[in-house]
Amino acid sequence: GRVKEALACWEKALEYKPDYAFAAYNLGITYFELGLKKKAGEYLQKYLEIRKKNISAEEKKQIEALIEKCK
Per-residue confidence (pLDDT) for residue 25, from 0 to 100: 97
Give the pLDDT confidence of 20-52 residue by residue, as tens digits. Answer: 999 999 999 999 999 999 999 999 999 999 999
End-to-end CA distance of the chain: 27
Cβ(36)–Cβ(11) below 8 Å: no
pTM of the prediction? 0.92
pLDDT band at 70 (very low <50, low <70, confident <90, very high): very high
pLDDT band at 55 (very low <50, low <70, confident <90, very high): very high
Q: Where are the domains of the chain?
A: 2-69
CATH of the domain spanning 2-69, picked from 3.10.310.30, 1.10.3210.50, 3.40.630.20, 1.25.40.10: 1.25.40.10
Cβ(38)–Cβ(28) below 8 Å: no
Q: Give the H or E element holding residue 42.
A: helix 37-51
Give the contacts of 71 (CB within 8 A, at least 6 positions apart): 37, 41
Cβ(46)–Cβ(24) below 8 Å: yes
